[in-house]
Structure 1
Amino acid sequence: MIFFSTHIGECLSERMQEARPLASQLLLLSCLCVAASGYPFRPPLDLDVTPRVTVLISGVQGSRRFQSSTVNYSTLLLEADRERLYVGARGAVFALNATDISANPAPSIEWEASAEQKFQCLLKGKDNKTECYNHIRLLQRFNSTHLYMCGTHAFSPLCAYIEEKRFVMSSQPEEGRDKCPYGPTTGYTGLLVDQQLYTASQYEFRSFPDIRRNSPSPTLKTEDAPTRWLNEAEFVGSSLVKERLDSSNGGDDKIYFFFTERNQDYSGTYGQSRVARVARVCKGDRGGHLTLQKRWTSFLKARLTCSLPEYDFHFNMLRSVFVMPDVEQQEPLFYGIFGLEWKNVKASAVCRFSLAEVQKAFQGPYMETQDSGSKWTEYTGKIPEPRPGTCINDALRARGINISTSLPDDVLEFVRRHPLMSHQVQPLDKRPVLFRRTTDYTHMAAHVVQGLDGETYHVLYMGTDEGWVHKAVEVQGQIHIIEELELFEEPQPITNLLISTKQVSLYIGSPSGVVQLPLSNCRRYPTCYECIFARDPHCAWNSEECVDVVAQANRSALIQDIQHGNRGCEKAHYDVAQKSRSVRVGDDVLLQCELISNLATPLWTLNGKELQGYDLNSGFRSGTDGLLVIEAQVGQSGLYTCHAVENKIRVAIVTYNVTIVADLPPAPPVDPASTLVVTQSRASEDTSFERTSLEPPSLLLTPSKYLSPKNMEALYLSLITVLSGIVVVLAVVLVYMGFCLQVGSSGKYSLRAAAAAYPRNNKNKKSKTQHRHSSHLELKTISSHCKGNGICNGMSKLHNGSMQDLGFLQIVPGEGHTSPSRETPPPAPPLPSTPQHPSPEGNHPNGFAATLPSVLRRMNGNSYILLRQSDSESISPFPFADELSKILEKRKHTQLLPIPDESSV
């Protein structure tokens, strides 16, 4: 519903402003039809995939973790042959053991921005908590002995070389403005190919995005005029695709860049404001001779589409890509994670593309535009020769064109004005392989696994914005999510994913640390059916347990069914949990059934027959917790079995032998000397219930044994004793109440007298304080024991000197709020300081703690300190006045609630 309201609001606000009245009505009708049909969240059932198993962080097994004092572990470089995982974080680089990243010690390089750099970053208006640090954005292998890294360096990028053997910076940092973005969150991708650095980002402050080759010379970049090749591009990845050795045309290696950019045809009424793109440049490009000097001559770009064709709905935001490693005899493929343009709506789609389709789009027609403000249309004119944007190949070499600087000017001028291709790159199967409505995927990785059936399967690992990893397998063009794993206590986005088949591990980067997981955990599946239902290419059943296929030398007896997930366990034996329940007629009983799989549905049978219907009159309710038998009857006794139904296979999970009894067995004889209370118990397997009832003696005592004169006399004496005790207690209560009433009438602790005393002595105050729910009530209790001593004299001066010289107890307000309808009372004047006198009791220098204890009560936000006056006349008045002055000084700024609760007094 959130998505519907958001979509309708944008649809009405953006499109009805420019429409005429009739068009507005038609548009409103179409928007309502969209909401009624559930657009776009009514995909086919095979697309909105649910993870089969959910594993919380407490159940994740085999994980290893690395953390340090820094944050933002977003840049990972895996070198499996060297068994190293290099990690770039904020202000530091680490060299971890790829076999076990938690092994210590881990070599590191500290590379923080200086205090002056951070200060300059602050002057630029940047955030000193996130941006004004040195975030490592590039970490690549440079040669056999050195690594190369670049960091934002508090919005002043720098790059440096790392000597791998000693793991130290081998030279002073060099300028990195053309190699690294300024900020830690700017879209960026970089590759080092044969010591040439290819990067794509928005480099300089307020500059345009650009694809560059920085070193060695010649440096190349994209064109800005007359046609801008990139429009607010946000880069997410890049990949080198080498030309095959058996290629017949002798083509050049190509570098592909993936990004999302502003749609140049977007007018605010129709279409998407941003679109996903793929761009390509040739590795051997050297720019043009006169035209396109120091510019790419091979730059072309095309649109990547990932949509639900049934609704013509496009996922136009490209978040991440993963290019499958080159596998012999297979077409190069890559997966893309796409999202929605609306940031407040969670949804993700995974589309699979073929690089052959990308190359086919680059061989198709071009698009053209007359100027920067006009729309792009397909170019229908003559295309010059050789074809613009083509990499140098054998055909061009045969014509004497061995380098891009030899290309004709008309070809280069055409390239400058026609960077966009007309054909869009469609995904395989023309639709997403995965769609999730409530998940935002951030990064992914994949590898190829061969199943026992001889087929090759793509196993995908996808990270979410909340710190989960989904493991999935692609089967016949569709995704089956094997499991979802929670990796962090606090939700946080996954920023990188890498796979190592040599270490059989998955490495996950995040803001708080790096996590290493095994590629599979087959021991999670205890039975044959659980192992088969998982459809994990890594796992198989060996007649005893679910094992890792790679670790098995003899695979002939292993059972695995990835295509269907339901075959092979027909003869397997497994244990079914057996429990018993015994309940009384009319009671409710819950039979619990916990299903491991999110894809399974429960099915209950009674004595081997399936329970049909769960309506109001059936006596049963079925839910996720189990089966509820309502007001059980004797006829409902029997053997209940809970089955998990998955992939058309029914597997018994637990059985309950339920016994429903009409009456409980007779109670044993009760000893009259011990009790007259009979306790009856009805127990089930897990919970016991007790009923206690008091029965007349005639029902519990037999005349022949217990109604003798001696026993009756003892019974009467006991009853008389109990009744006498009750009379004594009532008498004490009545005496106490009478005493309290007498005290109230005399005024010793009278609340009414205290409430009336204040306005008599403060004539300038309004009569609002006379109400017992006054917003600033100060209660004073008249003391009958005040002898006119110094205590009363000292306290009579607390309120502007207007109090009479009477003994009273002051209740000091605290912890409240001042009412706006009443002025704040003036603070108490300072009392004269006098030497301290010894306490008669000796517990406190001024005797306050011993003879005048304070009692604190807190109710409904009000607190009070009650000072009880002692009858002793030997206490010196001044120490108590000093102590009272201290208390009032601490509370002179304390406020009361608007309506104090009189029970707090």
Structure 2
Amino acid sequence: AMHLLLPLCVLWLLPLAWTLEEDSPLDCVPRRSFPYHRDNAHLFHEEGVFNYSTMLLREDLDLLLLGAREAVYALDLKDISKKLASVKWEVTQQQKNECKNKGKDLETECKNYIRILHQTEDNRMYVCGTNAFDPECHFIFHTEYIDLTLEKKGEDGKGKCPFDPFHRYASIMVENNLYTATSINFLGSEPVLMRSSPISIRTEFKSSWLNEPNFVSMTQMPEGYMSEEGDDDKVYLFFSETAVESYKRVAYGVFLCSQGDLGGQRTLQKKWTSFLKARMDCPVLESQLPYIIQDTYRFCDPQQDWRDCLFYAIFTPQSDKSDLSAVCAYRVSDISRVFAEGKYKTPVPVETSFVKWVMYSGDVPVPRPGACIDNAARKANITKTLDLPDRTLQFIKDRPLMDQAIQPIGNKPLLVRRGARFTRIIVNQVQAADGEKYRVMFIGTEEGTMLKAVNYDGEMFIIEEVHLFQTPEPIKILTFSNLTGQIYAGSDYGAAQIPLATCGRSLSCMDCVLARDPYCGWDKDVRKCVFLSNSPRGLIQSVKKGDASLCPEADPVKPMNRSIWPRGNLKLRCPSPSNLSKTSWERDGSPVMASTRLQLLQDGLLILNATDSDTGRYRCLSVELSKAGRYTATVADYQVSVAPAGSGDGSGILPKARMDGPSVAGLQAIVGLLVVSLLGLLAWNFYKGHLPLPWNCTKKKNEEQTQETREQGGLDAYQDAARSAPAEDKPLVSGANNGRSNNHTGREESDGPKVSLPSLQYIDDESEV
């Protein structure tokens, strides 16, 4: 009975497994993928300059300030390919030598990487660079009449800017107060979270505060603005570090009182008295592996209270064995509640040297450790942190970690995807045609692409993926301008500027609606897919369901005539409209089945060794599913004819040579004369010695060996150059591996045995013989 039960269980579980596979959120592929093209974005790149990873929007000046390696650029905000001004900040030869003597690489590390770029209240720009492992800060001036100017007098950048250009860091400028999270020493072994002015405050150097952190981002929340409790503004820092309680890399959020924290009187003197941190969870498919944080974006609706602001965070696994990335969203009110009301953790020594952290269940001092000075504290004559009792300060010094973790909205990610890891994120809100507001996520990846994704009532949907840069460099920064409605991205290679939507890429109403892009809709009057805010009329749009039945009936596709000679080859092109659609072919209304002579390719149909039976009407159909239904459209229509043997008419037909008629005798006479002339010419050249006789080949060969030896060096150099020259990129048509997703554009498959295929020639539908 057990032997019968096992196969029955397998058969019963197979449909369930197939269902799970079909509904897996990991199969969330972009609906459209756009390979790199210069028209995808406005690009900026200057020869010899790399690492365009620091940006400052100066919307008041219509400028994008861009920090790169040893340079700062002022670019036109509306078209960043136009450089308006620039200033170089290069290290001296002496600084390079000192850096090299300390064991750093002369060509990469011993340069000046711009890392801090902020606007001050007097409209200057504050800039800091790694400066060959000797951080330094300056002010930059810019006016309408003066180019970018670097102030000659510099400031020490230690604690403000990282020494190492490849270490993660975070910084913000709030009312001329600079907050930074970086390392304060050359070795990178002393991490610090610091406010530089007006009173310098920093973290305690303890592993329970910061333990090998990877700083990610920092932002300020105006929680003190018109607060009934008399609260202070907050600074939030996000980072990953090795957790003291588990020795695993874990994501954390840190809470600070931004303005009123002046440090303690005796305990925590010139140290933060409000430093609290809590673990951030982003449960990815119930995985037990910890996911580390890579970037965050603060989104606030201007019409709502700060408590309704959200933090969007990117998470990736710390192991290279997994290629999953996730986006989780957190409410600021939930984060604030963990710090204001949550329990603390406390260290407990165990038998070994290991220290275990458990929930603290003892008495909590008053005022509450880590809390900002508010009206309740002021009533107790505690008007500033210098007045806090030592018991409160000692508690926060020893127990900065909260017991409760910060949970995402819905206790699950908004988006999970397998593939190139996520690196950066920004979020923009748009009101769609249905009146609802949707938050669209723009996500940069480590392969230089940008995803555009929305979560529609729990459904993950990726609208498109665009390759921004020619080289697949990770996107290191993303920012957005409300003034221009443009997104700006930076990588090692350069900077890119792209709009929120390119609706014109959809050429039909069905494609426009199935794209489910909240920025775009179909305008029936102009018969175009247009930007929603640019049209005064109501547009056809269905973002939640993708209901293409709302579209008017499309114009029929006009058939194209294609001809082929007997035993010839012909390719009929049919590019797939989207990654979510499937194409199929029919001839004279009947489905076309793949065979040795009819090969179904990813982008068309290949007819080989044509015969009369291949004549007919070929239609390529696209089928795409959405939540509203199944939609079919004709992508291409061809009328194919095969010419009878001997005919010389018809488009694309190779005419048969005529072998009879009055011209044959004359042609034969001409050929005879040519043969006699050629024989005479050869005899004359042999006689004069212009051509070597066969028995002279050996002598000639010996004479040439000496010359060959002399020329071998040059020949070898020529062959090496030929080998290193890139081969011309030509398409290869074969029946195998043509069904792969176009998400891997530009990569070559190198796994598995290599098979040598015979040369295959065919007539493309765009060229005729």
Q: TM-score range by the shorter chain?
A: 0.7 to 0.9
Pick aligned residue for 1:150 from 128, 147, 164: 128
Determine if the alignment matches structure 1 residue 472 to structure 2 residue 453.
yes
Q: Which residue of 2 aligns with 1:688?
A: 653
In 2, Cα distance between equivalents of 1:724 and 1:96: 71
Distance change in 2, residues 1:570/1:147 (3 Å): closer
Shift of 1:92: 2.7
Name the residue aligned to 2:379: 398
What does 1:717-732 align with in structure 2 at a 5 Å threshold?
none
Q: Deviations over 1:48-81 (max 9, x none)?
A: 4322223333362562536476432221111323
SS of 2:333's equivalent?
helix
Q: What residue identity is the alignment partner of 2:463? A: I
Change (3 A) 1:724 1:96: closer
Change (3 A) 1:623 1:101: closer
Q: Does 1:50 align with 2:15?
A: no
Give, as a single letter, the amino acid of the residue that structure 1 aligns with 2:540. Answer: I
**CA gap 1:692/1:364 in 2 versus in 1, 3 angstroms:** farther
Distance 2:292 2:476 in 1: 17
1:93 to 72, 89, 109: 72
CA contact 2:159–2:182 (8 Å) conserved in 1: no
8 Å Cα contact 2:159/2:183 also seen in 1 = no
CA distance in 2, matches of 1:538, 1:352: 22
Specify which of 331, 335, 356 is matched with residue 312 of structure 2: 335
Single out whichever of 562-571 and 541-550 deviates more from structure 2.
562-571
Letter in 2 for 1:73: Y
SS of aligned partner of 1:442: strand
Q: What is the CA-CA distance between 1:587 and the residue it aligns to?
A: 6.6
Structure 2 residue 289 is matched with structure 1 residue 309: no
Local SS of the residue matching 1:396:
helix
Structure 1's 204 and 720: CA in aligned 2 closer, same or farther, altered over 3 A? Answer: closer
Query: Residues 59 and 184 (structure 1 numbering): CA distance in 2 closer, same or farther, change over 3 Å?
Result: closer
Look up the SS of the partner of 1:73 in the other structure. coil
The residue number in structure 2 matching 1:902 is none
| Paired amino acid for 2:477 | N
Deviation at 1:602, TM superposition (A): 0.8
Give the counterpart of 1:456 among 437, 445, 449.
437
Separation in 2 of the partners of 1:566 and 1:743? 80
Return the offset for 1:43.
Answer: 9.7
Q: Residue 396 of structure 2 aligns to a residue in which SS? A: helix
Equivalent runs, 1:473-552 vs 2, <5 Å: 473-543=454-524, 544=526, 545-552=528-535
1:813 to 703, 706, 709: 709
1:412 Cα offset (Å): 1.8
Tell me which residue corresponds to 2:369: 388
Q: Which aligned pairs between 1:42-441 and structure 2 lie closer than 5 A?
A: 44-58=23-37, 60-61=39-40, 63=42, 65=44, 67=46, 70-103=49-82, 106-165=84-143, 166=146, 167-170=148-151, 172-206=153-187, 207-217=189-199, 219-225=200-206, 228-243=208-223, 245=225, 247-266=227-246, 273-283=248-258, 284-314=260-290, 316-329=291-304, 331-343=308-320, 346-362=323-339, 363-370=341-348, 373-441=354-422
1:97 to partner: Cα distance: 3.0
In structure 2, the CA distance between the partners of 1:172 and 1:780, relative to structure 1 (3 Å rule), is closer
Distance 2:263 2:670 in 1: 114
Give, in angstroms, the shift of residue 124 of structure 1: 1.1
TM-score (norm 1): 0.67
* Distance (whole Å) between structure 1 residues aligned to residue 161 and residue 109 of structure 2: 14
**Partner residue in 1 for 2:9:** none
Q: How do 1:867-882 and structure 2 match up within 5 A?
A: none
Which of the two has higher C-alpha Rg? 1
Q: Which amino acid aligns with 1:96?
A: L
Once residues 677 and 558 of structure 2 are traced to their aligned partners in structure 1, the CA distance between those partners, rounded to angstroms, is 56
Partners of 2:678 and 2:136 in 1: CA distance: 93
Which of 570, 575, 599 does residue 580 from structure 2 map onto? 599
Go from structure 1 to structure 2 and tell me whether the alpha carbon gap of 1:48 and 1:305 turns closer, same or farther (over 3 Å shift).
farther
- Report the alpha carbon displacement of residue 575 of structure 1 after superposing the two structures with TM: 5.0
SS at match of 1:358: helix
Q: For the residues of structure 2 that align with 1:327 and 1:443, how far apart are their CA atoms?
A: 23
Shift of 1:723: 14
Q: Secondary structure of the equivalent of 2:533?
A: coil
The change in CA–CA distance for 1:408 and 1:577 in structure 2 (over 3 A counts) is farther
Deviation at 1:231, TM superposition (A): 0.7
Task: Please give the alpha-carbon distance, in whole angstroms, between the structure 1 residues aligned to 2:86 and 2:672.
Answer: 85
Asked if the contact 2:565/2:654 (under 8 Å) is kept, the reply is no
1:205-258 deviations in Å (ceiling 9; x for gaps): 1232111112111x2221224x53111101111010111646443322111111
The answer for unaligned runs of 5 or more in structure 1 is 1-36, 268-272, 668-679, 695-699, 755-777, 782-808, 818-855, 863-905
Which residue of structure 2 aligns with residue 846 of structure 1?
none
Unaligned runs of 5+ in 2: 1-15, 721-769
Q: 2 CA distance for matches of 1:810 and 1:163?
A: 69
Structure with more relative contact order (C-alpha pairs < 8 Å, separation 6 or more): 2
Shift of residue 326 of structure 1?
A: 4.5
Moved more, 79-88 or 134-143: 79-88
How much has 1:98 moved relative to structure 2?
A: 1.8
Contact 2:195 2:202 in 1 (8 A): yes
Q: Give the residue type in structure 2 aligned to 1:159.
A: C
Structure 1 residue identity aligned to 2:330:
F
Cα separation, 2, equivalents of 1:563 and 1:441 = 25
Q: Give 1:115's aligned amino acid.
A: Q
Q: 1:417 to 1:452 in 2, by over 3 A?
A: same
Deviations 1:722-748 (A, max 9, x none): 99969989x989x99xxx99985xxx7
Which letter maps to 1:168? T
Shift in CA distance, 85/297, structure 1 to aligned 2, threshold 3 Å: same
**Structure 1 residue 186, shift from structure 2 partner:** 1.5
AA aligned opposite 2:28: V
Deviation track 1:264-283 (CA, whole Å, cap 9, x = no partner) reads 3446xxxxx31221111111
Q: Hey, what does 2:620 align to over in structure 1? A: 642
The answer (yes or no) to whether the contact 1:48–1:434 under 8 Å persists in 2 is no
- 8 A contact 2:284–2:416 mirrored in 1: no
Structure 2 counterparts to residues 554-569 of structure 1, below 5 A: 554-555=536-537, 557-567=538-548, 569=550
Identity within the alignment, %: 33
For residue 325 of structure 1, what is the amino acid of its counterpart?
Answer: C
Structure 1 CA distance for aligned equivalents of residues 237 and 692 of structure 2: 91
Structure 1 residues 606 and 398, CA gap change in structure 2 (3 angstroms): farther
Partner deviation per Cα, 1:397-427 (whole Å, 9 max, x = no partner): 3333332222232222221122222222232
Q: 1:453 offset after TM fit, Å?
A: 1.0
3-state DSSP of counterpart to 2:376:
helix
TM-score (norm 2): 0.78
Letter of the 1:155 counterpart: F
Instruction: Report the equivalent of 1:796.
Output: none
Note the C-alpha offset of 1:615: 6.2
- Of residues 434-443 and 54-63 in structure 1, the stretch that sits farther from structure 2 once superposed is 54-63
The separation in 1 between residues aligned to 2:677 and 2:126, in whole angstroms, is: 92
User: Residues of 1 paired with 2:543 and 2:381: CA distance?
Assistant: 54
Contact (CA 8 Å) 1:160, 1:173: kept in 2 or not?
Answer: yes
